[in-house]
Amino acid sequence: MFRSLKILVLFYVLAFLPLFPVSAGCAESLPRGIFVMALDEPCALSSRQEIIKLVNLAKRTRSKMIFIQVYRGNKAWFPSLIVDSSPYKDCLKNVPEDPLRLLIKQAHSFGIEVHAWLNMLSLSKNKNAPLLQKYGFSVLTSNLKEKYSLEDYKIDNQYFLEPGDIRVRRELSGIIEEIIRRYPGLDGILFDYVRYPDKNPAYGYTEMNMERFKRTSGVKIIREEDEIWKDWKRAQVTETLRGFIDTARRINPDIQVSATGCMPIQRAYYEAFQDWISWVNRGLVNFVIAMDYSPDHLEFERWISAIKDKVSDFRKVKIAVGAYKLGVLPGEFKEELRFSENAGAGGCVIFHYSSLLDNPVLANILEEESEF
């Protein structure tokens, strides 16, 4: 009889448990992430000590995702046969094993994910980029101004590759294949700079891109104001990303794929020709990181509110907080962090690691705002 009574009590507990609220202190917190730039001094991959320091800060600030920059400006922080891997070789001088592999091992031991962060269509300031050595200026996106030297192609103090160039897609996909094959332990891969530069003047006027557009559309004269041309450029950005993702998932079907999205959303769609809302809604990516870097928390909130109803699942958006602009504005940082973690998104990502090291008060806020 006593056994029957215990079974009856258990039945009622299980039956009515969903009716009782779970206390906020027991709720699972949204995952945080940290961007880690390759050009930080010292580089986070430059020694075992730096790798452990990064993992420890991630633990302390309850950051469950590390986005480590391993490709930037046609340079690699991993062994590559396609691009300049001298940064990897420099790191290897002080680390007894592959630095990225060591980071993955250290992070995984504490349940922290590691995502490879790749700057795709920017060559930064690298005049000696292997892609330029191989193909020349023709792979760089262009406006209609006369060009006399490499410097004439510089945009925002960097060189941008043309999304509509098939050679660019092929070369960059090869880099993706290299990194995923070498590091099967990677949890994800983040594609950054998959866009056109901001317009004014407008870009996309390369020989290959214009020839492909005319052949596909039947249009003989390109006018910047024509929607068919704008839609073409937007489609080139999306198709470029799709090719990168196809490469990644062909090698590792389980890897998380993500991309950064410009903010505000008007800038992304109309100036960078980056339709990242559709990337989320069509399931092209696992998530997008919305780069909301306004130092004004009210503007920051407006930008996020403007996208909330446009995505089918807001949990597939992670909100990036620009700590690099908020070192002397800890109050704004706290407001933006709290808003990000209560907006219904899939978490927030702090840009970037060295800003937390340079401004310990921001790291302390992250720790204080943790629930655990």
User: What tokens appear for 66 in the block?
Assistant: 């590390």
pLDDT of residue 57: 97
SS3 61: coil
Name the one residue in this structure whose structure tokens are 């880099």: 175
pLDDT of residue 198: 84
29-368 has which fold? TIM Barrel (3.20.20)
Report the mean per-residue pLDDT for the chain.
92
Of 325, 323, 319, give the one whose Cα is nearest residue 362: 323
Q: Is 73 left (phi over 0), alpha (psi -120 to 50) or beta?
A: left
pLDDT of residue 12: 44
Question: Which residues does the chain have with pLDDT short of 50?
Answer: 1-27, 372
User: What tokens appear for 13 in the block?
Assistant: 């507990």
- What is the residue-wise DSSP string for 201-215? S-----HHHHHHHHH
Question: Would you say the C-alpha torsion 356, 360, 361, 365 has a positive or negative sign?
Answer: positive
pLDDT digits (tens, 9 = 90+) for 38-64: 999 999 999 999 999 999 999 999 999
- What is the residue-wise DSSP string for 275-300? -HHHHHHTTSSSEEEEEE--SSHHHH
Counting every residue written for the chain, the total comes to: 372
pLDDT of residue 30: 80
Contact 292, 319 (CB under 8 A): yes
pLDDT of residue 96: 87
pLDDT of residue 33: 98
pLDDT of residue 43: 97
pLDDT of residue 289: 98
How far apart (Å, rounded) are the C-alpha atoms in residues 356 and 348?
15
pLDDT of residue 370: 67
